[in-house]
Amino acid sequence: MSNIIPFRPRRFDTHVNLITGFGTKADHAEQFHWVAEPRVSRGTLESMYADHPIVWKLVDLFPDDGLREWITINHDRCDELLKALKRLCFRKQLNYGLKMARLHGGAALYVHFEGQDPEEPLNWENPGTISDISVLDKDYIWPEQLNRSMRFNHYCVNTEDAAGARVHKDRIIDLQGESVSRDWQLQNGGWFQSSVARCRKPLLAYSLSHNLVPNIIKDFIRDVIKLQGLNELSINTCEQDMRDFNDRLHAMLLAQSMFNKTVIDKEDEYQRSTTSVAGLHDLIRNPEKALVAASGIPHTKLLGESPGGTLSQAGNSQERDWHKAVSAYQEDRIRPAIEKMLLMLAPSLGIRDDIPFAFNPLDAVTQKEQAEMLKLVAEATFRMLEAQAWTVEEARTLFAGEELKMLPVLDQNTSRALAAMKGLPNDEEIKQTQRNPAR
């Protein structure tokens, strides 16, 4: 007995847990590391865009809503400019180009000029007459020379007429995809990341969770038949037991086929059991939340579902957030393209000055909001008339036209007369002087 080594108890659940591996080399948290995502092929992106409804929304929502209300050009010859843009189908081509940029990670509008060599730079004082606009995604146009500065003069373009034709960058309106680092951009032919490829994992999780639901519903209700003496039958070893079992099943199936009824022995039992779907809602919602977060599109817009809260609170909040996101997309992606197009188009119409423009509001004002705004403007106008700050004619300009204005069109003659009267004594000062003449 003296040779027995006494057992020394040792704790395994301290800050270093040998059972779970916590704090050791086998710690699962320490073994996690990032793995680069595989590049999604062009064919896969095209198929997803054509067949997957969420991918279609992911690509189309920003360009469609960003261009739906179009623009207002603040220029004396705005009608001519809008007609010229319409003649070239610029709005339609820009919409398609923005969608291809989101799908493939980049696209470009190739602006064709009549009788010009595409390799030559544009004369911005007199660029010439625009004949057509072509849309090319990143696989049909790429920078001729790639470097870290991303400074180059020519693109290589694959067209129906020629492959690898050189086109000067002045004639190209580039449309960017999702932002990436400069090194990643160089490895991708000078272009950016696809919006669909960036949401690849959330899309897979969303599709997997929703595609499993029909399989669960198919087996949602199960028929359970408890056969008396089933455990006593030797189906695999006794032919008689096998025939008895088959005869009983055949009788039940025959009755089901003839009368649509389940016929069983009085000693047997029949019941229908339902599969539990507890927690299924949460399993579906988690991939949806991840997809909404990755896409930057609100839940109501991307998935077409009403918000969980009241419509006046959660719904309006998501709508405002969506309008802010679209407004940012307009300024970052759409405005540079329109500005360059107007620079190309204006000289051919004899316009040499700047052409400011603004995007039309995204949200439509309801009748209730119009009535409240009209009430506020009317009250403010009454106070300004009472204080004699505006004339009646100036106040009427607020309500002239189709839109309600916030400031009137001031009469220049009245403004000059008021400016000339500055420094003169008013009526009260004159009366006070008459009562108390200077001694």
The CA distance from 195 to 56, in Å, is: 11
The pLDDT assigned to 147 comes to 84
Question: Angle at the Cα of 46 (from 43 to 49), degrees rounded to 5?
Answer: 150
Inform me whether the pLDDT recorded for 92 exceeds 90.
yes
Question: Angle at the Cα of 228 (from 238 to 260), degrees rounded to 5?
Answer: 105
Give the CA distances from residue 427 to residues 424, 431, 432, 434, in Å, rounded to whole numbers and listed in that order.
10, 6, 9, 11
Q: Which residue has the higher pLDDT, 211 or 176?
A: 176
Q: Are 373 and 87 in contact (CB under 8 A)?
A: no
Mean pLDDT of the chain: 82
Question: What is the average per-residue pLDDT within 302-314?
Answer: 61
The CA distance from 271 to 260, in Å, is: 16
Inform me whether the pLDDT recorded for 248 exceeds 60.
yes
Per-residue pLDDT tens digits for 116-168: 999 999 999 999 999 999 999 999 999 988 888 888 999 999 877 777 789 99
Q: Has residue 282 been placed in a domain? A: no
The pLDDT assigned to 31 comes to 61
Confidence of residue 380 (pLDDT cuts 50, 70, 90): confident
Q: Are 83 and 137 in contact (CB under 8 A)?
A: no
Per-residue pLDDT tens digits for 261-303: 777 777 777 777 777 777 777 778 888 899 999 999 998 899 8
Residue 407 β-bridge partners? none
Say how many C-beta atoms besides its own lie within 10 A of residue 426's C-beta. 8
Say how many C-beta atoms besides its own lie within 10 A of residue 76's C-beta. 9
Q: Has residue 340 been placed in a domain? A: no
Query: Would residue 388 be called left, alpha or beta, if left means φ above 0 and alpha means ψ between -120 and 50 degrees?
Result: left
Q: Has residue 105 been placed in a domain? A: yes
The pLDDT assigned to 27 comes to 67
What total number of domains does the chain contain? 2
Q: Are 40 and 197 in contact (CB under 8 A)?
A: yes
Question: What is the average per-residue pLDDT within 72-77?
Answer: 90
Final residue in a domain of this structure, among 178, 201, 224 = 201
The pLDDT assigned to 439 comes to 47
The CA distance from 295 to 287, in Å, is: 12
> What φ, ψ does residue 164 adopt, rounded to 5°?
75, 30
Q: Has residue 234 been placed in a domain? A: no
Final residue in a domain of this structure, among 151, 184, 201 = 201
> What φ, ψ does residue 121 adopt, rounded to 5°?
-70, 160
**Structural domain that includes position 419:** 367-435
Q: Has residue 90 been placed in a domain? A: yes
The pLDDT assigned to 395 comes to 77
Q: Which amino acid is at 251?
A: A
The pLDDT assigned to 312 comes to 46
Q: Has residue 318 been placed in a domain? A: no
Q: Tell me how long the chain is.
A: 439
Q: Which amino acid is at 10?
A: R
Whole-model pTM?
A: 0.72
The CA distance from 408 to 44, in Å, is: 57
Say how many C-beta atoms besides its own lie within 10 A of residue 197's C-beta. 21
Q: Has residue 232 been placed in a domain? A: no
The CA distance from 75 to 289, in Å, is: 45
The pLDDT assigned to 13 comes to 54
The pLDDT assigned to 334 comes to 96
Inform me whether the pLDDT recorded for 25 exceeds 80.
no
Final residue in a domain of this structure, among 169, 201, 233 = 201
Q: Has residue 415 been placed in a domain? A: yes
Q: Are 274 and 221 in contact (CB under 8 A)?
A: yes
Inform me whether the pLDDT recorded for 8 exceeds 50.
yes
